[in-house]
Amino acid sequence: MDFQTPANLVFSLYHMRVPLIDRRDWKITIKGLVAREATLSLDELRAMPQRDVNSFHECCGHPFYPTVPVRRVANVVWRGVPLKDVLARAGVTPDAKFVWSTGADGGDYHGINVDAFVKDLPIAEVDRDDVMLALQMNGEDLEDGRGGPVRLVVPGYYGTNSTKWLVSLELQAERSPGYFTTVMYNDREIKDGNEIIAPLWRVAPHSIIVAPAHQRTLQLRQQTVISGWAWGADPIETVDVSVDGGLNWRRAELALRYQHSWQGFGFPWTPTTSGAHQLQCRAFDAAGRGQPPAGARNSIFAIDVSVEDL
Ligand SMILES: Nc1nc2c(c(=O)[nH]1)N[C@H]1C(S)=C(S)[C@@H](COP(=O)(O)O)O[C@H]1N2
Ligand SMILES: [Mo]
């Protein structure tokens, strides 16, 4: 319900295990296509200029079931050092096209032995100063489960790209061959006989209703506000609400985006018929990208309510 999700309500995910990192020993290495390899300790990182970013944080769902929406989402404030400032310590060479980020965790993932959790990020994103090595979430140092002491945060990208327990950054000309970069976490589509691969980077438009709650009973002829959150890599421009299972749609009031936050929406509704009603919402960005009715991680969200004449 809150614009800023309290830390204890933010979902927590890891594929293999939670490594416990001694804050005194932690360091990060910046290597690969750089002018000079560099390492930074936690104190050195903390001494660098930091910034805050308010951002939604969404998991794209289970990598084996890319069409199943899970809608694990939160909105938090990250604080950290811009990635570009950290990379500047090593000097990125012009042939670098991707930043590989490696976490301290590895192990068995459904029978596959994974050396380490690695993600990759297109070099163009490094220019943004909201892509950061985060030290805090919601004003508190990152706990072990949250990826502490340092994690990558890429606002607007699916949560999987925000590597927790970060230990190295590597500049490379190609995508990482890691299990969680080019094997899992890529949408694959066949077009004219060719396989088109879409990495799970930028978040597709999505929205959820948070009030009224699923299976609530509402009163006939009494106004209620259907409200919720909408988010995506690009700002959401419109949210529509349906009170009849998707037959008719009406435009909701929508808040502007602050940095990379989710955006609140509201639609006042006075039910005039009793019985079961399905409420739905759908979001669109400026390019007209929206949400499919079913079968996608961002498919349209629906809840059921009943209206009673009391
Ligand atoms: N090192 C490491 N980083 C990781 C993961 C992981 O398993 N290992 N999981 C990713 C996934 S899939 C998500 S959705 C987010 C979850 O971040 P949270 O637990 O802080 O919500 O972390 C990402 N970063
Ligand atoms: Mo995730």
d(CA 46, CA 81): 8
Which residue's CA is minimally distant from atom 6 of ligand 1? 14
Whether the pTM exceeds 0.85: the reply is yes
Q: Which atom of ligand 1 is nearest to the CA of 116?
A: 1
- Give phi and psi for 229, each to the nearest 5: -125, 150
In angstroms, what is the span from residue 146 Cα to ligand 1's centroid?
8
In angstroms, what is the span from residue 3 Cα to ligand 2's centroid?
21
Same-domain check for residues 129 and 107: yes
CATH of residue 165's domain is 3.90.420.10
Mutate to test the pocket of ligand 1, among 8, 13, 60, 121 (most ligand atoms within 8 A of CB): 13
Contact 151, 42 (CB under 8 A): no
In angstroms, what is the span from residue 203 Cα to ligand 2's centroid?
12
Mutate to test the pocket of ligand 1, among 73, 150, 164 (most ligand atoms within 8 A of CB): 164
Q: Return the ligand number nearest the Cα of 167.
A: 1
CATH of residue 215's domain is 2.60.40.650
The CA-CA-CA angle for residues 186, 190, 196, to 5°, reads 45
pLDDT tens for the chain, residues 1 to 310: 999 999 999 999 999 999 999 999 999 999 999 999 999 999 999 999 999 999 999 999 999 999 999 999 999 999 999 999 999 999 999 999 999 999 999 999 999 999 999 999 999 999 998 999 999 999 999 999 999 999 999 999 999 999 999 999 999 999 999 999 989 999 998 889 999 999 999 999 999 999 999 999 999 999 999 999 999 999 999 999 999 999 999 999 999 999 999 999 999 999 999 999 999 999 999 999 999 999 999 999 999 999 999 7
In angstroms, what is the span from residue 170 Cα to ligand 1's centroid?
19
Give the number of domains in the chain: 2
d(CA 169, CA 37): 10
Same-domain check for residues 84 and 165: yes
The predicted structure's pLDDT at residue 205 = 98
* 164-193: burial string, b at 16+ Cβ within 10 Å, e else: bbbbbbbbbeebbebbbbbebbbeeeeeee
Which of 170, 199, 228 terminates a domain? The answer is: 199
Instruction: Give the range of the structural domain holding residue 172, as residue numbers without chain letter.
Output: 7-199
Backbone region of residue 8 per phi and psi (left: phi > 0; alpha: psi in -120 to 50; beta: other values): alpha
Contact 298, 236 (CB under 8 A): no
* Nearest Cα residue to 258 out of 236, 284, 288, 226: 236
